[in-house]
Structure 1
Amino acid sequence: MLERELRAFISTAEIGRMDRAAKMLGYSQPAVSYQIRCLEQTLGAKLFVRGSAGARLTAEGRMILPSARAVLTLIDSMKDVCEV
């Protein structure tokens, strides 16, 4: 599980569209889609229902979202300590 996968997951969950999440993160849409597929493979669960209207979280996606946010908070905190 990689930081960029978690960032792609959280951004897509918050925005509801992979293309807009990609733009916000400075990635291409295929890159965000790939990151999410990798995370889904690692977790063994489908995290989004994809459709023409965007991406909706599955039940599993909703359950892991708070944990993903907590992990990124810790990562950002560690980066802040190292920048001092």
Structure 2
Amino acid sequence: MHERELRAFVATVEAGRMDRAAKALGYSQPAISYQINCLEQELGTRLFVRHPDGAQLTREGAMVLPAARAVLSLVDGIRDAAAQQSRTPVRKLRAAC
């Protein structure tokens, strides 16, 4: 399971369509579809029912969604903490004897 797969999944839920999710993430629609297919294969379940007018979340997809959002929130928090740390000036301690 990869971050990009979870991001594609959540973006599709939020956009309601894979093409809109792709645009929001800066990917092509086939790339989003591929990421979601990979996630579905790894989880062993369908996350969406695809329709010509969009993608409808399945019951299993609805169960996965809160965990996917939580994982992405943690990943974003790690990135924010690392970025904050890199902006913190390093101070040297000098001691004289």
Q: Are 1:2 and 2:5 matched, yes or no?
A: no
The 2-side partners of 1:58 and 1:45 are apart by 9
**Structure 1 stretches lacking a partner, 5+ long:** none
Identity %: 67
Number of equivalences: 84
Structure 2 portions without partners, runs of 5+: 85-97
Matched residue, 1:16: 16
Cα offset, 1:53, TM superposition: 1.1
**Which residue identity is paired with 1:53?**
D
Deviation at 1:83, TM superposition (A): 0.7
Determine the structure 1 residue equivalent to 2:90. none
Task: Give the residue type in structure 1 aligned to 2:23.
Answer: K
- Normalised TM-score (structure 1): 0.98
| Bigger Cα Rg | 2
Within 2, Cα distance between the matches of 1:63 and 1:6? 13
Could you tell me which residue of structure 2 aligns to residue 78 of structure 1? Answer: 78
Give the C-alpha shift of residue 14 in structure 1: 1.1
Is 1:66 the counterpart of 2:63 in the alignment? no
Amino acid at match of 1:2: H
For 1:45, the equivalent position in structure 2 comes to 45
TM (normalized to structure 2)?
0.85
Alignment partners' CA distance in 2, 1:26 and 1:15: 13
Equivalent position of 1:35 in the other structure: 35
- 1:4-35 CA-partner distances (Å, limit 9, x unpaired): 00000000011110000000000000000000
